[in-house]
């Protein structure tokens, strides 16, 4: 990738534009482990706060180094451990605060939306919560973490809790169709939030988004995307699913080539 003619990392792209996507793999988001939901949440945060990628990378590096030190049979150097824990605390606190800001802003927007063809989603942070002094928490937990082989405190232990507001039911207990609708509601609401924050619409990548929606919900989705504006890419294997789309560029992918449809 190149930006203004110069080679650039993929993470630096977030400084120039926001990307949000929805793929069939995310259909299992609420039934999988917490790590998948953290990755999903971090992508939402990154769209609003590009510096989030830096803090996440530095935190992961410090945590891996600490885990390696704790596993040494002769014992780890306390000074080195303290330095790594200070780094985890600095970047981990920034991660937790950025996640909290995004979740709070998105939860407020979702709660204010009227009932419509899509499910109303509620979100909140779950799992580990900041205590105010992550470095001390890590220092006191060295023995426990050495036995577990991993750090048991920090933002890598957080989770994202999603609720179907109209049914007051956790997302993992909802039907497959309801879970898809909840994900769609989250992404669409977040796109509006990012547009306000950055004064520009994010690019939306929606893979097979229409396949599991009935005609009424498909038409409502296309209408909402058209009103919101911005660049939206939608893919599907059945052209008929996009009959209700208004003005759009249609491309056909076959035999390794792309051509106007």
Reply yes or no on whether the pLDDT at 57 is more than 90: yes
Other C-beta atoms closer than 10 Å to the C-beta of 205 total: 17
Give this prediction's pTM.
0.89
Q: What proportion of the chain, given as a percentage, has pLDDT over 70?
A: 100
pLDDT of 170 reads: 95
Reply yes or no on whether the pLDDT at 140 is more than 90: yes
Q: Answer yes or no: are the C-beta atoms of 207 and 199 closer than 8 Å.
A: no
In the chain, the largest separation of any two C-alpha atoms, in whole Å, equals 68
Distance CA 124, CA 30 (A): 13
Q: CA torsion, points 75, 76, 79, 80, in degrees to nearest 10?
A: 170
Reply yes or no on whether the pLDDT at 227 is more than 80: yes
Q: Give the pLDDT band of residue 143 (cuts 50, 70, 90).
A: very high
Q: In a 3-state reduction of DSSP, which class is residue 233?
A: strand
pLDDT (tens digit, 9 = 90+) per residue, 89-126? Answer: 999 999 999 999 999 999 999 988 777 777 889 999 99
User: For strand 203-207 and strand 232-235, is the pairing parallel, antiparallel, or unpaired?
Assistant: parallel
Question: What is the helix (H) or strand (E) element at residue 170, kind and residue range?
Answer: strand 169-170
pLDDT (tens digit, 9 = 90+) per residue, 177-206? Answer: 889 889 999 999 999 999 999 888 999 999
Can you give the residue ranges of every domain in the chain? 2-260
pLDDT of 13 reads: 82
Q: Give the pLDDT band of residue 152 (cuts 50, 70, 90).
A: very high
Reply yes or no on whether the pLDDT at 257 is more than 90: yes
Other C-beta atoms closer than 10 Å to the C-beta of 73 total: 4
pLDDT of 206 reads: 95
CA 33 to chain centre: 14
pLDDT (tens digit, 9 = 90+) per residue, 20-39? Answer: 999 999 989 999 899 999 99
**Which fold is adopted by the domain 2-260?**
Glutathione S-transferase Yfyf (Class Pi); Chain A, domain 2 (1.20.1050)
Reply yes or no on whether the pLDDT at 11 is more than 80: no
Evaluate the CA torsion angle 239, 245, 246, 249 in order and state its sign: negative
Reply yes or no on whether the pLDDT at 44 is more than 80: yes
Which DSSP string corresponds to 98-117?
HHHHHHHHHHHHHHTSPP-S
More confident position, 132 or 49: 49
CA 188 to chain centre: 13
pLDDT of 211 reads: 83
pLDDT of 183 reads: 92
pLDDT of 16 reads: 86
Reply yes or no on whether the pLDDT at 174 is more than 80: yes
CA distances from 78 to 75, 85, 89, 139, 143 (A): 9, 10, 16, 9, 12
* Phi and psi based region of residue 229 (left: phi greater than 0; alpha: psi -120 to 50; beta: remaining): left
Q: Give the pLDDT band of residue 154 (cuts 50, 70, 90).
A: very high
Q: Give the pLDDT band of residue 176 (cuts 50, 70, 90).
A: confident
């Amino acid at each position: 990738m190149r930006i203004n003619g110069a080679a650039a990392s993929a993470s630096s792209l977030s400084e120039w534009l926001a990307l949000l996507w929805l793929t069939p793999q995310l259909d299992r988001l609420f039934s999988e482990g917490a790590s998948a939901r953290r990755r999903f949440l971090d992508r939402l945060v990154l769209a609003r706060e590009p510096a989030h990628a830096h803090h996440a990378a530095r935190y992961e590096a410090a945590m891996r180094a600490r885990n390696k030190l704790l596993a040494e049979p002769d014992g780890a150097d306390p000074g080195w451990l303290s330095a790594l824990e200070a780094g985890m605390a600095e970047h981990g606190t920034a991660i937790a605060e950025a996640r909290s800001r995004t979740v709070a802003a998105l939860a407020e927007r979702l709660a204010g939306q009227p009932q419509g063809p899509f499910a109303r989603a509620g979100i909140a942070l779950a799992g580990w919560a900041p205590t105010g002094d992550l470095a001390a928490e890590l220092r006191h937990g060295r023995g426990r973490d050495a036995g577990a082989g991993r750090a048991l405190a920090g933002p890598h232990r957080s989770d994202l809790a999603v609720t179907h507001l109209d049914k007051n039911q956790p997302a993992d207990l909802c039907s497959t169709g309801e879970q898809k609708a909840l994900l769609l509601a989250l992404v669409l609401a977040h796109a509006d939030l990012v547009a306000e924050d950055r004064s520009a619409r994010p690019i939306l990548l929606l893979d097979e988004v229409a396949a599991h929606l009935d005609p009424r919900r498909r038409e409502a989705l296309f209408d909402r995307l058209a009103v919101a504006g911005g660049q939206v890419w939608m893919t599907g294997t059945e052209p008929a699913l996009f009959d209700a789309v208004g003005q759009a560029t249609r491309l056909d992918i076959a035999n390794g080539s792309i051509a106007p449809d």
